[in-house]
Amino acid sequence: MKFPGLLSVVIPAYNEEGAVAQTIGRTRAALKAAKVPHEIILVDDGSSDATALKARGAKAQVISMGENRGYGASLKAGIRQAKGDFIAILDADGTYLPEELPLLLKVMDTNDMVVGARTSPGAAIPKLRRLPKWFLGQWANYLAERKIPDLNSGMRIFKKSAMARYEGLFPNGFSFTTTITLALECHGYIVRYVPIRYLPRVGESKIRPFRDTLNFFALVLRVVMYFKPLKIFIPLSGIIFLASLASALRAHEEGLGLTAPTLLLFVAGLQIAALGLLADLLVKRGR
C-alpha cells in the first residue's frame, strides 16, 4: 500500500496490561505488512499496573501522563507529540483489530477522516450501552443532518491538521471521539465510515454508563450549538410560539382577550428566534 506520509498511531491506555503488548505488536505487524511508514505512541494515563512497562517491552514510544487525566487528555497529549500528518487511534483493550487499520487507510486519501464503524454483525457492544448509544445516535443524526453509523468509535484515522483546528473543543474525558466526529461533520469535512469488527474487551471497562451517557448528550448539544445553533433555537422558538398560540386560543374561548401569559410566551419565542439568528451569524462570520 502506498501511503502519502507518516502515520502516527496513538493508543491511550489506563491499566491495560492484559492486552497492551499484543495490541502494539499486532498494530506494528499489520502496518509493516501494508508497507505503511508509521510510529506507535502509547499514552499511559496514570496506570497503576504494568501497562507502561509492557508497552516499552513492545518497543512503543511511551508518554506518561503522571496521573489519570482521562481518555481525551491522553489522546491530545499523544497527538501533540506525533510526527505524522495522519493520526490513527485505537484502544489498548483488545476490542479493535489492528489488522483492520489497512482497510481504513485504503480510503484515507479521499477523506478527511475515516471511522471504523462498529456495525458488523456480532459486534460485541455491551447490552447496557446499546439503548443509550441508539438515542445518542438519533440525537446526533438530527443535529448533524446526516446519518452517522458510529458516533464515538475509538478506531479511526484523521488528518492532524483537521484535529488541530478544533483542539480547544475537545474534552479530557471519553467524549473526544464524539466531539471530533460532530466537529468535522458539522463543518463540512469529508468523513467516511468503514464497517469493522468489535470484540469483547480484555480487563475491566472504565466507562460509567449513566454519567458518561449524560455527558455525551450534553456534549452533542454543546458542539452543535457551536456549529449549527439554529438546529436548537428554531425548534425551541417554535414550541414556545405554539404555546403562545394555545394560550391565546384558550383566552379567546374564555373571553379574556390578550393575557399576560400569552404575551410573555410570544415575546419569549421571538427573543429565542432572534438569539438563534444572531448565534448563527456569529458562527458563519467566525468560519
User: Are 216 and 238 part of one and the same domain?
Assistant: no
Last residue of a domain, one of 227, 249, 276: 227
Range of the domain at 200: 7-227
Question: For 66-109, where are the alpha helices, taking DSSP H only?
Answer: 71-81, 101-105
User: Are 170 and 61 part of one and the same domain?
Assistant: yes
Number of domains making up the chain:
2
User: Are 223 and 235 part of one and the same domain?
Assistant: no
User: Are 114 and 244 part of one and the same domain?
Assistant: no
User: Are 186 and 239 part of one and the same domain?
Assistant: no
- Specify if 200 maps to a domain: yes
> Which residues have a Cβ under 8 Å from the Cβ of 168 and sit 6 or more positions away?
none
- Specify if 151 maps to a domain: yes
Q: What is the pLDDT along the chain (287 residues), one digit of tens a residue?
A: 677 779 999 999 999 999 999 999 999 999 999 999 999 999 999 999 999 999 999 999 999 999 999 999 999 999 999 999 999 999 999 999 999 999 999 999 889 999 999 987 766 566 656 666 677 777 777 777 788 999 889 999 999 988 887 877 777 776 789 889 988 888 889 999 999 999 887 867 666 666 666 776 777 777 777 777 888 889 999 999 999 999 888 888 888 877 888 889 999 999 999 988 888 887 666 55
Q: Which CATH number is 118's domain given?
A: 3.90.550.10
> Which residues have a Cβ under 8 Å from the Cβ of 55 and sit 6 or more positions away?
13, 20, 21, 24, 42, 44, 62
> Which residues have a Cβ under 8 Å from the Cβ of 281 and sit 6 or more positions away?
none
pTM assigned to the model? 0.80
